[in-house]
Structure 1
Amino acid sequence: MSAQVNALPRAVQRRLAARPRLTDAVWVGGLTLFDMATVLHRSPEPPGWGVVLWGAQTVPLLWRRTAPRAVLAAMTGLYVLFQALGAVPSKVPGPFLLMLGVYAVARYARASVSGPLALLSLLSATVTDALSGHWEPPRLGSLEPISATTFVFFFALAWLLGYGRRRIDTDAARLRELNRRLTAEQELNARQAVLTERARIARDLHDVVAHHVSAIALQARAAEDVLTSGPLQQEEAARGVGVIACTADTALTEMRRLLGLLSFGDGAHDLTPEPSLDGLDRLVGVATSAGCRVACHVEVSSAAPAGMQVSAYRIVQEALTNAVKHAGPVAVRIAVCGDATRLTVEVENGPPGPDHRPVPGAGRGLVGMRERVAAFDGELDAGPRPDGGWRLRAVLSARAPRAPQPVASRERR
């Protein structure tokens, strides 16, 4: 019950804040009517125009948000007119209505403008009181409405309150703007992170799938040749189909591992660890099953960082994939050497045979390799050999890796 009672004033406050003109009209109209009612039954009875002039002093507050300087000027002018004409006998307005105008100009106008206007209004009011006979000399501790001390005190109080509220509103607006910028920056960073992650996933999918699928395509063509050329050699055909099945199983295992890393499970699944240079024999076996004659030499310190080993593994994998796709069953030489701070990867393959049909490529492999090398502040050199083969050399450094930048490449491997 108490929560509902407390929520009601907050709901009313939010509704009024959403309609500032209506709010101003309600409270200014109420204040004007109340001021006029306080002088209706005075003795002697005031004239009607005097009551209207008395109530008109608060009407300009309707425009306090949009024209605060004009509001204070109008209220000061009406105060001077009321005092000069003596519209309501023995009625001394004092500084209390003008305080509202001073507060409005201090809140909605710059301090360099509101300060001089408040001083000018104070001077006009005190001079009018002195000339109209409503004057008492300043007395310390006196807050009588006709005392100049009263005007100074309440004008200063109203200006300080308005200026303080202006500072609060300015700080709140600045914080809202900063929050808006922060939110926009966070959304931009989140989108950038999504794009970066998509690029990484695409690169890993390419590294995992392209190698095995290329081997499958090459073996399938070899099996097709066996089945369509001359007498059926069941044992050789069965061996080729078995190699295709084994390579497909390996590709599925790699895919399940990658998808497992992308899942949002509790981590309880038994996932295959990240590949390293210790697993090069498996890559060599796939390439050998595709007909390549692979010579592999690895001399790497066990202290080499795991991330650098993963990148070196993927570079060798992509190089073997390119060799199988573009050259077919040729001689391939792999050399990986290095220590805890530097790794050098070299992969060379011979020229393709005259009857080889290359598997089409999109050029993403070399781009992915360049990104991996750039992440370790390394160097990549890839290009054809004089005899028609292909040579790739990558150098990885164990210095703090930087974020990879997409690198355009003209080679299509």
Structure 2
Amino acid sequence: MTPDPSPTEGLLRTHAPQVLGALVRRYGHFDLAEDAVQEALLAAARQWPGQGTPDNPRGWLIKVASRRLTDALRSEEARRRRETEAVALEPPGPTRAPSRDDTLTLLFLCCHPALTPSSQIALTLRAVGGLTTGEIARAFLVPEKTMGQRISRAKRAIRQTGGRFTQPTGPERGARLAAVLRALYLIFNEGYTATSGAVLQRIELAAEAIRLTRAVRELLPDDGEVAGLLALMLLTHARRAARADADGNLVPLEEQDRTLWDRDQIAEGVALVSAALTTSRPGPYQLQAAIAAVHDEAERAADTDWPQILALYDVLRRVDPGPVVELNRAVAVAMVHGPHAGLTLLEDLAGDPRLTEHHRLHAVRAHLLERAGEREAAREAYRLAAGHTLSAPERRYLQLRAARLREKD
């Protein structure tokens, strides 16, 4: 687990998107503005711990970054770039103090529809999250050079498609907000359960997703899906301390020590989703958060209200149908109606190309076969699941389950 950031680092990370938003709005030139902000952040990191934090840290950062950007724009190369990009950028607007709305506008820009989901995530973490290219590269287990190229291509794509530093309106706003929430959701998921590598969780990445979602929640306090996503993250992240044993091995939900769960985060998540469900039309994130709340409110695994969870999945499959929802619903069906009922549903999913190469389909099938007493078939399914995951902790867990079944025979 990484240590908490220093007061200076936390302050810089909070102000970074607002400072970048102010420069992009005022001058355009996303690339140059981002570089100038990074230089200002480095200057602050060097000076503030020894000289003290200025009374107006955001204003200090904007002043320093603006000076760096102005110097860059004076060069001949920057002038030529400015001429060619002018048609794709808003003309510099009147100077005004940066607002929290700049953070949301920057998120909308990073989640431009011209970008792939992976590029949206990388650019969001870089521009809004304030993470360095090296930090993002390490989080996604790719070389820093590769991640730098991915981020550069994302910026170039935004420039070439005429991305403007303005908040979209009408239907486009809804579509862009959905992309923003999806990017934050994927960032959190990668932090909560790493898709590959030697560690089960990247807690700092999950925490960053929660921080960014809180920022969106502050800007859009009446949006039910924003509240639902934040609630889902909190209710899921609350279990982090119990998800692995002292050796880093995965501990499944039903076997976790629930006294290790973060009750404050659970209370906050339950309050958020309860309020959202009573004031807005239920959406996918709210429904997923409601399911997580049912799990978290059970003192023991045996106390879990599976009929309620199944009812929520029945609603979720109508609101947001998809193979992952059906896979999770099959587990709920098995817990309510028996493992064979769940296995029947899995047969219908076996031919879905989106799941056939994913380890979770095989892992769920193995779990239900084990519950049904079909140990040999379960052992083979666990081995098959282990061969499809790139996560070392998940592979060890699946192999251990298979080995335990062999010992029982």
TM-score (norm 1): 0.23
Q: Which protein has the bigger strand share?
A: 1
Q: Which structure would you say has the larger Rg? A: 1
Q: Which has the higher contact order (CA 8 A, sep 6+)?
A: 2
TM-score (norm 2): 0.23
Q: Which protein has the bigger helix share?
A: 2
